[in-house]
């Protein structure tokens, strides 16, 4: 099996416009053969989907999802290019799947570009301290930090999370596949997630202490 370098993935992305994970998978499946990887992406419609990504998507739906008897609620706006597509059952089901994903996985951002630099610096500092405390050699600490930051992206960025209905794919993979199938650009624009009691400090009452206080 040929080693798939970051440079190879970058080159394939530039040549096809397909997503990073799709490019990496295509190169792996083609044993590093660039031309075969391009053919694989074209066969899946992913290269064509990438070309649609720059088109304006101003139609779509705001999908609502309530889970757990009203304990978790999600609103998400997902845009497409035409009202016709927005009204199709397939698109509505897709939007509901994304809302369910948000309810289940609780992302903080849609894509990695939205993560504030100060948040990343904080995560890097924690990852570096952890690596050093674990006794990792200084010369490999930077690689360890980079790996843990990548893991952080997968936890907090919606598009990089494993899709709840098929964990072999990311949410971005699902979006890209839907673009290729529908033939329109699709973007997740914004979302809000609410959970009952979230952010409220919950204090457990000590009955014995309360009774003692009342008898004083």
pLDDT tens profile 74-133: 999 999 999 999 999 999 999 999 999 999 999 999 999 999 999 999 999 999 898 888
Please list, residue by residue across 15-53, b when 16 or more beta carbons sit within 10 angstroms of its beta carbon and e when fewer do.
ebbbbeebbbbbbeebeeeeeebbebbeebbbbbbbebb
Q: Is residue 54 very low, low, confident or very high in pLDDT (cuts 50, 70, 90)?
A: low
Encode pLDDT of 141-200 as tens digits: 888 989 999 999 999 999 999 999 999 899 998 998 888 888 888 999 999 999 998 877
More confident residue, 156 or 22: 156
Encode pLDDT of 29-51 as tens digits: 999 998 898 888 877 776 666 66
- Angstrom distance (rounded) from CA 182 to CA 91: 9
pLDDT, position 120: 92
Please state the pTM of the whole predicted model.
Answer: 0.69
- Residue 74: its H or E element: strand 72-80
More confident residue, 93 or 210: 93
Q: 99's torsion region: left (phi>0), alpha (psi -120 to 50) or beta?
A: alpha
Q: Is residue 19 very low, low, confident or very high in pLDDT (cuts 50, 70, 90)?
A: confident
Query: What mean pLDDT do residues 64-80 have?
Result: 93
The vertex-76 CA angle with 71 and 81, nearest 5°, equals 160
pLDDT, position 215: 43
Q: End-to-end CA distance of the chain, in Å?
A: 77
**Coil, helix or strand for 198?**
coil
- The pLDDT of residue 213 is above 80: no
- Angstrom distance (rounded) from CA 39 to CA 190: 34
- The pLDDT of residue 13 is above 80: no
């Amino acid at each position: 099996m040929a080693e798939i370098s970051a440079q190879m993935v970058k080159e394939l992305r530039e040549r096809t416009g397909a997503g990073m994970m799709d490019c990496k998978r295509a190169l792996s499946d083609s044993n590093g053969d660039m031309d075969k990887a391009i053919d694989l992406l074209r066969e899946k419609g992913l290269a064509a989907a990438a070309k649609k990504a720059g088109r304006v998507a101003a139609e779509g739906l705001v999908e609502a999802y309530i889970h757990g008897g009203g304990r978790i609620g999600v609103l998400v706006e997902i845009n497409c290019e035409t009202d016709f597509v927005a009204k199709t059952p397939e698109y509505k089901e897709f939007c509901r799947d994304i809302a369910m994903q948000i309810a289940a996985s609780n992302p903080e951002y849609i894509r990695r570009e939205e993560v504030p630099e100060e948040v990343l610096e904080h995560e890097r500092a924690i990852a570096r301290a952890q690596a050093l405390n674990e006794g990792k050699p200084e010369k490999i600490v930077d690689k360890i930090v980079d790996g843990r930051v990548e893991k952080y992206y997968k936890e907090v960025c919606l598009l990089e999370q494993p899709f709840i209905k098929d964990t072999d794919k990311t949410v971005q993979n699902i979006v890209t596949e839907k673009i290729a199938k529908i033939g329109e650009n699709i973007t997740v624009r914004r979302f809000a997630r609410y959970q009952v009691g979230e952010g409220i400090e919950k204090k457990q009452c000590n009955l014995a202490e309360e009774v003692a206080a009342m008898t004083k």
